[in-house]
Chains A and B, each alone.
Chain A
Amino acid sequence: MKVLVAVKRVIDYNVKVRVKPDNTGVDLANVKMAMNPFCEIAVEEAVRLKEKGIASEIVVVSIGPKASQEQIRTALALGADRGIHVETDEEVQSLEAAKLLKGVVEKEEPKMVIMGKQSIDTDNNQTGQMLAALMGWGQGTFASEVAVDGEKVNVTREVDGGLMTVGLKLPAVVTTDLRLNEPRYASLPNIMKAKKKPLESVAPADLGVEVAPRLSTLKVEAPKQREAGVKVEDVAELVDKLKNEAKVI
């Protein structure tokens, strides 16, 4: 079966982000970019499905500027077979991303779409759900275990208070949580082979989608710095502060 994996280029999770002085967004100049960690887990899961003989082909897709091809290449080095790059310099929001992915899914007709539950830049946690709704497919979100069983997939989800297992009819959308797997390192030979794997570039217009942001960002601010605590002399002072200053007792 063919598996489609969507990956996103985001600021590397090790980077300490800085807000632009004019508060319009986060400073991206000279910042190390990488594949969204949840997307890495999605790629790893697809590769494992292929190693088990369940997946026959892994197609990896990314939406974004030309540089997003780096993340596609990384996915190819990790074991994906072929890449599709939807090239746009516009800001792509969740719904547009889902519509673009729908265009790719309709063309590729995969049996399963695996993607990260959210990207660590905007933290929306929407695109997978939106794609499933647009396609009219089942969805298994926050997956911590994916077990394909013939024409069905059982997805164990991490929910508040425990685990929930849903059985989905294929084709379906699966979004990955942190504990699904631990991604491997790309081996040097696979990195060398990655550049020989096909990577196709398409424009949003080819997929019949116009990329225009529906939401506008009003302001981006850095979280307030935590202030230093105070030391109290005795219990009486502590009680007094809790009562009158913090007003918690």
Chain B
Amino acid sequence: MTRDPIGLALNSMNRLAGSSWLDRLGIRRSVEWLAYSGTRTGFRTLSVAGKQFKRARNVLPRQRLPAKRPPDLFDLTLDDDQRMIVDTLAGFADDVIRPAAGDADEKGQLPESIRTQAMELGLTLYAVPAEFGGVAETRSPVTSALVAEELARGDLAIAAALLAPFSVAQSITRWGSAEQQSTYLPAFCDDEPPMATIALDEAQPLFDPAKPATTARRQGDGYVLTGEKTGVIMAASSDLFLVSARLDDGKPRLFLVPRGTEGLSYQDDPAMGLRAAQTARLRLKQVQVPSDALLGDDDFDFDAFLDYASILRCGLAVGTARAVQDYVIPYCNEREAFGEPISHRQSVAFMIANMAIETDSMRLMTWRAASRAEAGGPFSREARLARLLCNDKAMEIGTNGVQLLGGHGFVKEHPVERWYRDLRSIATQFGGAHA
């Protein structure tokens, strides 16, 4: 039974045309004419052409508009180096990091073999200029974000641990004085480079990384550092700590504190996630450091330091978000319930679609911030927006990943529960909430 108005009208007209009383009354012709003109006017809007098209006599050559790529918009094409670095690290993440990740998480330990292999890849050399034995030629926040992404696709905790010395070396390259660079950077290019880490977070209510509670009191020719840091990656095995502290004038700065400095101690502080990165508390009890432990010449920029750190965290978030996505899609296509794959259910399909949209958004915002940083322009706003997006969406993607696996999401047989735990660290590590 047709329910639309035109259908109803046609139906009644057909009945009218079929009825015998028209003939009995002798009015069939006039009624039929009425019905005919009625249908014609009813359909008229579709049948009357607004404009006539004449066949062209002179045929011009076919035209296609050329692609336009203004050079001032950021470019998403990887260059040769970046492509090869991504390819190499993708293989490393798939073949080396991923298979070791479950065990590393269980034991709460970074496998020594992975650290050795990462050294062989020369990861840290990429943070050091050629003059000090490294291979860095330009500032490369985009490549750094790509590196973080690929490693974290293997495992977030292992990636965070491997990138800790990388970030320290990068900070010294960015802001270190000639003396600091000559002291520390060549060591990072040795056959056995040091482990190094950044100590930034503190267990303070409403912690703001720009206002650390750890203090650096001027004393004689040096400084005295006092405070306690939390969530310090690889603290137990680090040879060098980059510690944030507040100067007497209230300004936040970074200090290079070598292992073995008196008053420096740590305490294991395992967390819900990042277990292979062996997070710990770092206590600074009247730690005396010389004046040249203060990182940076006159060009030091604490905000930029936080923003670079944010870009790297975002890269990590994107990588693990991609891991989740790559895992749940085949799962949902294969897992059958009610006689068909669960991906046929819209509640599942939409969740996966949102995951893909969010991962791409995170990635694009991260790349935009990184590419502005690379070009030397202001990037603080972009880095913080990217960080806030990643804080939220990384957690959401982790949660939804577990959800999509149903009961299987809850058990350790699948890696998604680990990613869920690790992804929660994006918002808490490195003063994430204060971006």
Q: Which residues of A are in contact with B by a Cβ distance under 8 Å?
A: 34, 70, 73-74, 77, 185-195
- Within the complex, the shortest CB–CB distance from B116 to chain A, in Å, comes to 13
Q: A163 to B134, alpha carbons, bound, how many Å?
A: 45
Task: State whether the Cβ of B356 lies closer than 8 Å to any Cβ in chain A.
Answer: no
Task: State whether the Cβ of B135 lies closer than 8 Å to any Cβ in chain A.
Answer: yes
Residues of A within 8 A of B92 (CB): 185
Among B84, B92, B134, the most chain A Cβ lie within 10 Å of the Cβ of B84
Given contacts A192-B135, A192-B137, are A187 and B120 in contact (CB under 8 A)? yes
- Evaluate contact between A195 and B122: CB separation under 8 angstroms: no
- Evaluate contact between A194 and B84: CB separation under 8 angstroms: yes
Residues of B within 8 A of A194 (CB): 80, 84
- A74, A190, A193, A195: the one within 8 Å of B87 (CB): A74
- Evaluate contact between A191 and B125: CB separation under 8 angstroms: no
- B87, B91, B122, B134: the one within 8 Å of A187 (CB): B122
- Within the complex, the shortest CB–CB distance from B339 to chain A, in Å, comes to 12
Q: A73 to B85, alpha carbons, bound, how many Å?
A: 12
Q: Which residue of B lies closest to A194 (CB)?
A: B84
Residues of B within 8 A of A190 (CB): 122
Task: State whether the Cβ of B123 lies closer than 8 Å to any Cβ in chain A.
Answer: yes
- Within the complex, the shortest CB–CB distance from B143 to chain A, in Å, comes to 9
Residues of A within 8 A of B121 (CB): 185, 187-188
Task: State whether the Cβ of B88 lies closer than 8 Å to any Cβ in chain A.
Answer: yes
- Evaluate contact between B81 and A195: CB separation under 8 angstroms: yes
Q: Which residue of A lies closest to B121 (CB)?
A: A187
Task: State whether the Cβ of B126 lies closer than 8 Å to any Cβ in chain A.
Answer: yes
Task: State whether the Cβ of B83 lies closer than 8 Å to any Cβ in chain A.
Answer: yes
Q: Give chain B interface residues in 110-148, CB to chain A under 8 Å.
A: 120-123, 125-126, 134-135, 137
- Provide the B70-113 mask, 1 if CB < 8 A to any CB of A, else 0: 00000000001101110110011000000000000000000000
Residues of A within 8 A of B83 (CB): 70
Given contacts A188-B126, A188-B135, A192-B137, are A70 and B80 in contact (CB under 8 A)? yes
Q: Which residue of B lies closest to A193 (CB)?
A: B135
- Evaluate contact between A73 and B84: CB separation under 8 angstroms: yes
Q: Which 5 A-B residue pairings sit nearest by Cβ, starting from the closest?
A: A192-B135, A187-B122, A188-B122, A189-B122, A189-B135
- Evaluate contact between A185 and B135: CB separation under 8 angstroms: no
- Evaluate contact between A188 and B85: CB separation under 8 angstroms: yes
Q: Which residue of B lies closest to A183 (CB)?
A: B91
Among B81, B91, B134, the most chain A Cβ lie within 10 Å of the Cβ of B81
If A185-B88, A195-B81 are given as contacts, then 13 extra A-B residue pairs at C-beta distance below 8 Å, sorted by A number, are A73-B80, A74-B84, A74-B87, A186-B88, A187-B121, A188-B121, A188-B123, A188-B126, A188-B135, A189-B134, A191-B88, A192-B135, A194-B84
| Secondary structure dominating the interface of B | helix
- Provide the B299-322 mask, 1 if CB < 8 A to any CB of A, else 0: 000000000000000000000000
Residues of A within 8 A of B137 (CB): 192
- Evaluate contact between B81 and A189: CB separation under 8 angstroms: no
- Evaluate contact between B87 and A34: CB separation under 8 angstroms: yes
- Evaluate contact between A192 and B81: CB separation under 8 angstroms: yes
- Evaluate contact between A191 and B81: CB separation under 8 angstroms: yes
Residues of A within 8 A of B126 (CB): 188-189, 192
Q: A194 to B87, alpha carbons, bound, how many Å?
A: 14
Q: List 21 A-B contacts (CB under 8 A).
A: A70-B80, A70-B83, A74-B84, A74-B87, A185-B91, A186-B87, A187-B120, A188-B85, A188-B88, A188-B121, A188-B122, A188-B126, A188-B135, A189-B125, A189-B126, A190-B122, A191-B85, A192-B81, A192-B135, A193-B135, A194-B84
Residues of A within 8 A of B81 (CB): 191-192, 195
Residues of B within 8 A of A73 (CB): 80, 84
- Within the complex, the shortest CB–CB distance from A14 to chain B, in Å, comes to 9
Q: A189 to B123, alpha carbons, bound, how many Å?
A: 8
Q: Which residue of A lies closest to B83 (CB)?
A: A70
Q: Which residue of A lies closest to B84 (CB)?
A: A191
Among A77, A188, A191, the most chain B Cβ lie within 10 Å of the Cβ of A188
Q: A188 to B150, alpha carbons, bound, how many Å?
A: 14
Given contacts A34-B87, A74-B87, are A188 and B125 in contact (CB under 8 A)? yes
- Within the complex, the shortest CB–CB distance from A122 to chain B, in Å, comes to 23
- Evaluate contact between B84 and A186: CB separation under 8 angstroms: yes
Residues of B within 8 A of A191 (CB): 81, 84-85, 88
Q: Which residue of B lies closest to A184 (CB)?
A: B120
Residues of B within 8 A of A186 (CB): 84, 87-88
Residues of B within 8 A of A188 (CB): 85, 88, 121-123, 125-126, 135
Residues of A within 8 A of B135 (CB): 188-189, 192-193
- Within the complex, the shortest CB–CB distance from A190 to chain B, in Å, comes to 8
Residues of A within 8 A of B84 (CB): 73-74, 77, 186, 191, 194
Residues of B within 8 A of A34 (CB): 87
Q: A190 to B84, alpha carbons, bound, how many Å?
A: 10
Residues of A within 8 A of B88 (CB): 77, 185-188, 191
Q: Which residue of B lies closest to A12 (CB)?
A: B87
Q: A194 to B88, alpha carbons, bound, how many Å?
A: 14
Q: Which residue of B lies closest to A73 (CB)?
A: B80
Q: A192 to B140, alpha carbons, bound, how many Å?
A: 13
Q: Which residue of A lies closest to B124 (CB)?
A: A188
Q: A34 to B125, alpha carbons, bound, how many Å?
A: 25
Q: Which residue of B lies closest to A77 (CB)?
A: B84
Q: Which residue of A lies closest to B147 (CB)?
A: A188
Q: A77 to B88, alpha carbons, bound, how many Å?
A: 10
Q: A55 to B81, alpha carbons, bound, how many Å?
A: 26
Q: A188 to B130, alpha carbons, bound, how many Å?
A: 13
- Within the complex, the shortest CB–CB distance from A197 to chain B, in Å, comes to 12
- Within the complex, the shortest CB–CB distance from B378 to chain A, in Å, comes to 28
Residues of A within 8 A of B85 (CB): 188, 191
Q: Give chain B interface residues in 275-317, CB to chain A under 8 Å.
A: none
Residues of B within 8 A of A70 (CB): 80, 83
- Within the complex, the shortest CB–CB distance from B250 to chain A, in Å, comes to 39
Q: A45 to B418, alpha carbons, bound, how many Å?
A: 38
